[in-house]
Amino acid sequence: MKYKVLFNPLSGNSRGKENADKLAALMPGDELEFVDLTAVTDYGAWFAALGADEGVILCGGDGTLNRFANDTENVDLPENLLYFGTGTGNDFLHDLGHAAGDAPVPVARYLKGLPKVTVNGVTRRFLNGIGYGIDGYCCEVGDELRKTPDKKINYTSIAIKGLLFHFKPVNARVTVDGTHAGFHKVWLAPTMFGRYYGGGMMPTPAQDRNAVPKQVSTMVLYGSGKLHTLMIFPGIFKGAHVKHEKNVRILTGREVCVEFNRPTALQIDGETVLGVTKYTVSVD
Predicted confidence (pLDDT) per residue in 158-200, tens digit: 888 888 888 999 999 999 999 999 999 999 999 999 999 988 9
Last residue of a domain, one of 65, 81, 110: 110
CA nearest to 59, candidates 9, 118, 117, 13: 9
Kindly indicate the confidence band of residue 21, based on its pLDDT and cuts at 50, 70 and 90: very high
Kindly indicate the confidence band of residue 140, based on its pLDDT and cuts at 50, 70 and 90: confident
CA nearest to 20, candidates 69, 87, 73: 87
More confident: 124 or 157: 124
Question: E strands along the chain, which residues?
Answer: 2-7, 31-36, 54-60, 82-85, 105-106, 116-119, 122-125, 129-132, 170-176, 179-188, 191-192, 216-222, 248-253, 255-268, 271-282
Query: Do 169 and 208 share a structural domain?
Result: yes
CA atoms within 13 A on the CB side of 93: 26
Kindly indicate the confidence band of residue 5, based on its pLDDT and cuts at 50, 70 and 90: very high
pLDDT digits (tens, 9 = 90+) for 187-246: 999 999 999 998 899 999 999 999 999 999 999 999 999 999 999 999 999 999 999 999
More confident: 176 or 284: 176
Last residue of a domain, one of 91, 110, 129: 110
Q: Is the pLDDT of residue 52 over 80?
A: yes
Query: Do 135 and 267 share a structural domain?
Result: yes
In the prediction, which pLDDT does 172 show?
Answer: 97
pLDDT digits (tens, 9 = 90+) for 254-270: 999 999 999 999 999 98
Last residue of a domain, one of 58, 85, 110: 110
Query: Do 123 and 63 share a structural domain?
Result: no
Q: Is the pTM of this model over 0.85?
A: yes
Query: Do 121 and 97 share a structural domain?
Result: no
- Output the domain CATH number for residue 136: 2.60.200.40
The three-class DSSP label of residue 27 is coil
In the prediction, which pLDDT does 49 show?
Answer: 92
Q: Which residues pair with 264 in a beta bridge?
A: 276
In the prediction, which pLDDT does 206 show?
Answer: 97
Query: Do 123 and 89 share a structural domain?
Result: no
Query: Do 125 and 213 share a structural domain?
Result: yes
Q: What is the domain extent for residue 198? A: 116-282
pLDDT digits (tens, 9 = 90+) for 61-106: 999 999 999 999 999 998 889 999 988 889 999 999 998 889 999 9
- Number of domains observed in the structure of the chain: 2
Query: Do 132 and 228 share a structural domain?
Result: yes
Q: Is 146 exposed, middle or buried (0-12, 13-18, 19+ CB in 10 A)?
A: exposed
- Output the domain CATH number for residue 103: 3.40.50
Least confident residue range of 32-41, 121-130, 159-168, 201-210: 159-168
